[in-house]
C-alpha cells in the first residue's frame, strides 16, 4: 500500500511539473502595428532611391537629406511610381489639389510676405491645377511653423500622403533671417514643392541612388528652384522645367 501511495505521489508531482511548464511557456508576442507601419514606410523611402545614409529617424517621422519629411504613419501609394524634374509617386488628389489651404503659425507671421510670395509662384504656373490659399482659421492642409533645425538646414517639407498634401513645413527662421527676401521666400517655395511631391532636381549630384522622373521632364536643371543642397544660395524663381514638371503632374 505504501508503495502504491509513493507511485501515486510521484505521478501527481510529475503532472504538476508538466502543467507548470505548460503555463510558463511564453507565446510569441504579436507584431507591433506601429513598428510594422514605420518599417513599411522606411522600405518605401528606400525604394524611391534614397540611400540609408540619407535617412534619419526623428520621433514620429523620418527626415531625408535634411529637408524632406516622411511621417511614419503616411499612406504608402499603391504600385510602383511611373518611370521616365522628379517626384515620389504620391500625388495630391484631384479634389485637394485645387485648394491646398496653408496656415501660417504665429511663430512665422513675421514672414507672411515671404509665404505669400511663395504661394503666388506656385499659383502662377499656367496650365497647372495646383492652387494654394492662405487661411487663418482652424481648418488647413499645411501648417508652416518656425523650428530650430540647426545650422545648414533652411527648412523641411513633408511629402503627400493619402491624396493630401504634406501637412507640415518647418522653417528655420532664425537661420534664414539674415538672408535676402528673395532667398527667404525661396526656402518656403522649395518646401511647398516637396509638399506636393516634387523631389530634388539634382538628386544624382547630391548622392541619391535613383529617382522617379516626371514623365517628359527628366534631366538636370541648374536653374531649378527644387535643386537640393542650396540652402541660402539657390534659384529664387521657379524654372521652366519646374513649371513643366508641375503641369505634367497636375494638368
Residues 42 and 165 in one domain: no
Between 104 and 44, the higher pLDDT residue: 104
Between 44 and 82, the higher pLDDT residue: 44
Residues 109 and 152 in one domain: yes
Domain that holds residue 213: 86-249
Residues 112 and 233 in one domain: yes
Is residue 251 scored above 50 in pLDDT? yes
Q: Which of 10-19, 38-47, 65-74, 115-124 comes out lowest in average pLDDT?
A: 10-19
Residues 243 and 158 in one domain: yes
Is residue 122 scored above 80 in pLDDT? yes
Q: Which of 71-80, 148-157, 190-199 comes out lowest in average pLDDT?
A: 71-80
Q: Which of 95-99, 153-157, 182-186, 200-204 comes out lowest in average pLDDT?
A: 200-204
pLDDT for 229 equals 86
CATH code of the domain covering residue 98: 3.40.390.10
pLDDT for 80 equals 46
Q: Is the residue at 28 inside a domain?
A: no
Q: Is the residue at 169 inside a domain?
A: yes
Q: What is the mean pLDDT of residues 95-122?
A: 98
Between 31 and 155, the higher pLDDT residue: 155
Residues 140 and 171 in one domain: yes
Q: How many domains does the chain fold into? A: 2
Residues 125 and 242 in one domain: yes
Q: Is the residue at 111 inside a domain?
A: yes
Q: Find the helix or strand (DSSP H, E) in which 64 lies.
A: strand 61-64
Computed over its alpha carbons, how large is the radius of gyration of the chain?
A: 26
Residues 6+ apart with CB under 8 A from 67: 153, 154, 155, 156, 157, 190, 191, 194, 228, 231
Q: Which of 89-93, 131-135, 208-212, 228-232 comes out lowest in average pLDDT?
A: 208-212
Is residue 109 scored above 70 in pLDDT? yes
Q: What is the mean pLDDT of residues 32-53?
A: 84
Cα separation, 36 vs 141, in Å, equals 27
Q: Are 98 and 128 in contact (CB under 8 A)?
A: no
pLDDT for 131 equals 98
Please give the grid coordinates belonging to residue 209: 541612388
Count of all residues that appear for the chain in the document: 251
Q: 136 falls in which pLDDT band (50, 70, 90)? A: very high
Please state, rounded to an integer, the average pLDDT across all residues of the chain: 84
pLDDT for 27 equals 52
Q: Is the residue at 165 inside a domain?
A: yes
Residues 130 and 230 in one domain: yes
Exposed (0-12), middle (13-18) or buried (19+): which is 127, by Cβ within 10 Å?
Answer: exposed
Q: Which residues of 69-102 are buried (b: 16+ CB within 10 A; e: fewer)?
A: bbbbebebbeeebeeebbbbbbbbeeebbeebbb
Share of the chain above pLDDT 70, in %: 79
Q: What is the mean pLDDT of residues 64-74?
A: 89
Q: What is the mean pLDDT of residues 214-234?
A: 87
Is residue 14 scored above 50 in pLDDT? no
Residues 116 and 160 in one domain: yes
Q: 219 falls in which pLDDT band (50, 70, 90)? A: confident
Residues 144 and 90 in one domain: yes
pLDDT for 213 equals 74
Amino acid at each position: 500500500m505504501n508503495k502504491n501511495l509513493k507511485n501515486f505521489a510521484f505521478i501527481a508531482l510529475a503532472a504538476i511539473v508538466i502543467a507548470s511548464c505548460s503555463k510558463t511557456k511564453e507565446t510569441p508576442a504579436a507584431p507591433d502595428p506601429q513598428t510594422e507601419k514605420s518599417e513599411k514606410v522606411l522600405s518605401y523611402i528606400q525604394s524611391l532611391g534614397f540611400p540609408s545614409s540619407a535617412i534619419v529617424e526623428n520621433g514620429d517621422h523620418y527626415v531625408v537629406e535634411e529637408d524632406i519629411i516622411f511621417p511614419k504613419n503616411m499612406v504608402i501609394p499603391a504600385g510602383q511610381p511611373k518611370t521616365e524634374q522628379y517626384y515620389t509617386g504620391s500625388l495630391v488628389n484631384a479634389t485637394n489639389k485645387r485648394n491646398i489651404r496653408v496656415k501660417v503659425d504665429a511663430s512665422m507671421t513675421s514672414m507672411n510676405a515671404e509665404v505669400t510670395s511663395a504661394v503666388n509662384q506656385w499659383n502662377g504656373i499656367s496650365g497647372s491645377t495646383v492652387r494654394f490659399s492662405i487661411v487663418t482659421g482652424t481648418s488647413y492642409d499645411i501648417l508652416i511653423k518656425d523650428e530650430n533645425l540647426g545650422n545648414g538646414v533652411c527648412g523641411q517639407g513633408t511629402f503627400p500622403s493619402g491624396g493630401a498634401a504634406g501637412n507640415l513645413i518647418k522653417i528655420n527662421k532664425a537661420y534664414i533671417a539674415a538672408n535676402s527676401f528673395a532667398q527667404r521666400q525661396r526656402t518656403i517655395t522649395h518646401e511647398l514643392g516637396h509638399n506636393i511631391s516634387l523631389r530634388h532636381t539634382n538628386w544624382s549630384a547630391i548622392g541619391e541612388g535613383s529617382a522617379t522622373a516626371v514623365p517628359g521632364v527628366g534631366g538636370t536643371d541648374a536653374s531649378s528652384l527644387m535643386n537640393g543642397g542650396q540652402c541660402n544660395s539657390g534659384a529664387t524663381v521657379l524654372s521652366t522645367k519646374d513649371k513643366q514638371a508641375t503641369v505634367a503632374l497636375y494638368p
